[in-house]
Amino acid sequence: MSSQDIPEENLPVAQADGADLEKHGENPFADPGLPPHEHRIQDIDERAAKRSERTVAFLFTLSMLATIGFIASYVAFPVDKSIYVWPIGHISALNFALGMTLGIALFCIGAGAVHWARTLMSDEEIADERHEISAPPEVKAKVLADFKQGAKESAMGRRKLIRNTMFGALTLVPLSGVVLLRDLGPLPEDKLRHTLWAKGKLLVNQNTNEPLRPADVAVGSLTFAKPEGLEEHDHDFQTQIAKAALMIVRLEPDDIKDKQELEWSHEGIVAYSKICTHVGCPISLYEQQTHHVLCPCHQSTFDLTDGARVIFGPAGHALPQLRIGVNEEGYLQALGDFEEPVGPAFWERG
């Protein structure tokens, strides 16, 4: 790894043509040095220079006008007015006017400055020397000596007890900061295993907010349901619906291939978790002919006639099914919670 591993002659510097070519006389590839400066039209023609000056001044003036335009638009356009701009379509007049005037005001300052630099400032190339980044050996020797002196005076090396206890203290002290992070959140416990669903909870239609009857679920339609008692205004609605969201589909009982699916269904109505088992997007696309559902985020596809097993995409396991039935009044109800965790898999899932 050190440089002595490499034979010196392998480094390009040793093969540079320069050295041996000195012997042969001049090198056809030698560096001819900086080319002579070529004058621009502005350097030799004062009228061209004047033209450039006027261009720059025009751009700066345009910028001033645009800023005035910006202020005027801010005052003039109501915030809700929309205008038609070809080919974009209808857009907010205020946003368009403010953005364009601000854009012109800024762009013209830039264009003016660049034009000024390119046409009127000196364009003669200058060569500056570089200096090696590494310090010269004397400096290095001085620094190392200083460091040794300092280290010696601190007696770090000699008084090992001080050194070791100091390292110990410095290692431990950040732990307080780590401990403080503990209350960022609760422990997982079995939170991911339970949802609001329980025996006897009615299936409430998300659209109508009414409990569902079997007759409400038509063949070929996809119905979204939530557990009764969960309302949008509840403070933990988002967290609860993130686990409890349900999709309901009616199949022909004969089409159901999976035995358990058939047992847990009611008159061909099956209820599955709407939360994808991949990384938790809500599944929302339903193919009526094949009874496949598809997650629009990562295209995991599940076959609802076969225990919602994965038939395509990155999901790792089938959607959990909710066991349903009807109560005495004829409403669809859950016969328990999901028997496995809904949503993405995790270490403790098992």
Partner 1 sequence: MSTTTSSTDNKRKAPAGERVADWADGRLGIYSLAKANMRKIFPDHWSFMLGEICLYSFIIIILTGVYLTLFFHPSMNEVEYHGSYVPLQGQLMSEAFNSTMHISFDVRGGLLIRQIHHWAALIFVAAMLVHMMRVFFTGAFRKPREVNWLFGFLLLVLGMFTGFTGYSLPDDLLSGTGVRFMQGAVLSVPIVGTYLSMFLFGGEFPGGDFVARFYSVHILLLPGIMLGLVVAHLILVFYHKHTQFAGPGKTNKNVVGMPLLPVYMAKAGGFFFLVFGVIAAISALASINPIWALGPYRPDQVSTGAQPDWYMGFSEGLIRVMPGWEINAWGHTLVLGVFIPLIIFPLVLVTIAVWPFIESWVTGDKREHHILDRPRNAPTRTAFGVAWLTWYFILLIGGGNDLWATHFHLSINSITWFVRIAFFVGPVIAFIITKRICLGLQRRDKDKVLHGRESGIIKRLPHGEFIEVHEPLSQEALHTLTAHEQHKPLELGPTVDENGVERKVKGTQKLKAKLSQGMYGEESQIPKPTADEYKEITSGHGHH
- Smaller CB separation from partner 1, 18 or 253: 18
Of 44 and 187, which has the nearer Cβ to partner 1?
187
Candidates 42, 52, 108, 217; binder of partner 1 (CB under 8 A) is: 108
For 180, list phi and psi in degrees, rounded to 5: -60, -25
Per DSSP, helices labelled H in 256-339 are 259-264
CB of 168 to partner 1, least distance (A): 27
For position 191 contacting partner 1 by CB under 8 A, the verdict is yes
What is the spatial distance between Cα 10 and Cα 24, in angstroms, rounded to a whole number? 23
Residue 98 interacts with partner 1 (CB under 8 A): yes or no: yes
Which of 68, 91, 156, 218 is in the footprint of partner 1 by CB under 8 A?
91
Q: How far apart are the first and last CA of the chain?
A: 47
Nearer to partner 1, 67 or 262 (CB): 67
Task: Report 33-72 residues binding partner 1 (CB under 8 A).
Answer: 33-35
Q: Which is nearer to partner 1, 104 or 324 (CB)?
A: 104
Nearest to 260 by CA among 327, 307, 316: 307
Check binding of 109 to partner 1 (CB under 8 A). Answer: yes
From 315, 322, 324, 332, residue interacting with partner 1 (rule: CB under 8 A): 315
- Which of 167, 298, 330, 339 forms a contact with partner 1 (CB under 8 A)? 298
265 HSE (CA, 13 A, CB side): 27
In order of 167, 177, 252, the CA distances from 171 in angstroms are 6, 12, 66
Closer residue to partner 1 (CB): 33 or 157: 33
Instruction: Choose which of 262, 268, 286, 313 interacts with partner 1 (CB under 8 A).
Output: 313
Judged by CB under 8 A, does residue 15 bind partner 1?
Answer: yes
Cα–Cα distances in Å, from 91 out to 24, 99, 105, 325?
73, 12, 21, 51
When binding is defined by CB under 8 A, the residue of 79, 172, 173, 215 that contacts partner 1 is 79
Asked if residues 334 and 248 have their Cβ atoms less than 8 Å apart, the reply is no
- Return the number of other C-beta atoms located less than 10 Å from residue 334's C-beta: 25
Q: Buried b vs exposed e over 236-265: b needs ≥16 C-beta within 10 Å?
A: eeeebbbbbbbbbbbbeeeebebeebbebb
Helix (H) or strand (E) holding 193, with range, is none
CB of 291 vs partner 1, minimal distance in Å = 18
Supply the minimum distance, in Å, between the C-beta of residue 219 and partner 1.
23
Instruction: Let me know if 268 is exposed, middle or buried by CB neighbors in 10 A (0-12, 13-18, 19+).
Output: middle
Contact yes or no for 331/211 (Cβ under 8 A): yes
Tell which positions 242-281 bind partner 1, by CB under 8 A.
242-243, 245, 274-275, 278-281
Member of 99, 214, 268, 336 binding partner 1 (CB under 8 A): 99
Give yes or no for residue 214 binding partner 1 (CB under 8 A). no
Query: Binding of partner 1 at residue 177 (CB under 8 A)?
Result: no
Given 88, 170, 175, 180, the residue binding partner 1 (CB under 8 A): 88
* Smaller CB separation from partner 1, 85 or 151: 85
Q: Return the structure tokens found at 291.
A: 């009874």
Among 23, 38, 84, 130, binds partner 1 (CB under 8 A): 130
Starting at the earlier edge strand, list the strands of the sheet with 222-227.
203-205, 222-227, 246-250, 269-273, 321-322
- Which CB atom, from 20 or from 267, has the smaller least distance to partner 1? 20
Binding to partner 1 by CB under 8 A, coded x per residue (else -) over 132-171, reads xx--------------------------------------
User: 97 vs 58, 63, 78, 202, 260, CA distance in Å?
Assistant: 21, 14, 11, 54, 63
200 is a contact residue toward partner 1 (CB under 8 A): no
